[in-house]
């Protein structure tokens, strides 16, 4: 069943999605600035962070055209953001900007994981595949950003729950028929659940268990 939310909900959805896309683009921009990349590198890395996850999802689902091709205005917005950042952003701004974008990023994680899962479900994918597509949509932009910048992806080394939050929260969307939720309510509830889980991880500074790095034979 396709999702047909009321106009007001559509506007809110769009605004949050734009905010999240900008947050992910900014994360790529900051990483490119730290690596002292040239303007082309800045745009490419920011674009990977913003659109990479959705593109990987669309490739795996054999879905065409890619979502950023359907919304060309977002490409202009990305170019404008990169140009303004290169003109005005200085090293002293990096720490403040990165800290401030954690919360929009948490919202984006929820929205993108829920929307990616919904797309996969509409294509009649099995539940576990749909959930993984949602996680990929939300996480793999950052993974591609870090790989291009020659870093181990933060999603794999941060130890604060990130992808796990997406994986857990989107099951609300999968279980909507059994929970008696409409498509619209399930989409919102799933996005909120993911964002709240990520927010709690940030507030409590909870970390996942880490590997014991001791050598064999150590106590």
pLDDT in tens, 13-31: 566 567 667 777 877 887 7
User: In terms of pLDDT, which residue wins out, 66 or 144?
Assistant: 144
Most confident by average pLDDT, 58-72, 87-101, 202-216: 58-72
- Residues 69-122 have pLDDT tens digits of 877 888 888 888 888 877 776 655 555 555 656 777 788 788 889 888 988 998
* Neighbouring C-beta atoms of residue 71, cutoff 10 Å: 14
Q: For the chain, give every domain's residue range.
A: 7-204
**pLDDT(51) > 80:** yes
pLDDT band, residue 6 (cuts 50/70/90): very low
Q: pTM of whole model > 0.85? A: no
pLDDT at position 57 is 92
pLDDT at position 155 is 81
Token pair in block for residue 143:
């993974």
Residue 6, preceding peptide bond in cis (omega within 30° of 0): no
């Amino acid at each position: 069943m396709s999702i047909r939310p009321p106009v007001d909900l559509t506007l809110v959805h769009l605004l949050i999605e734009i905010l999240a896309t900008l947050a992910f683009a900014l994360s790529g921009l900051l990483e490119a600035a730290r690596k002292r990349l040239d303007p082309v590198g800045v745009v490419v890395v920011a674009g990977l962070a913003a659109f990479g996850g959705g593109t990987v999802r669309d490739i795996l689902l054999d879905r065409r055209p890619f979502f950023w091709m359907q919304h060309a205005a977002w490409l202009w917005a990305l170019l404008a953001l990169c140009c303004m950042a290169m003109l005005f952003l200085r090293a002293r701004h990096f720490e403040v900007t990165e800290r401030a974008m954690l919360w929009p990023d948490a919202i984006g994680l929820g929205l993108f994981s829920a929307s990616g899962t919904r797309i996969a479900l509409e294509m009649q994918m099995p539940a576990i595949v749909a959930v993984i597509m949602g996680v990929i949509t939300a996480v793999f932009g950052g993974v591609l950003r870090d790989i291009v910048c020659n870093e181990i992806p933060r999603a794999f080394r941060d130890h604060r729950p990130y992808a796990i939050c997406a994986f857990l929260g989107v099951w609300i969307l999968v279980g909507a028929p059994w929970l008696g939720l409409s498509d619209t309510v399930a989409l919102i509830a799933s996005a909120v659940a993911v964002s709240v889980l990520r927010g709690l991880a940030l507030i409590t500074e909870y970390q996942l268990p880490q590997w014991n790095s001791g050598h064999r034979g150590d106590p």
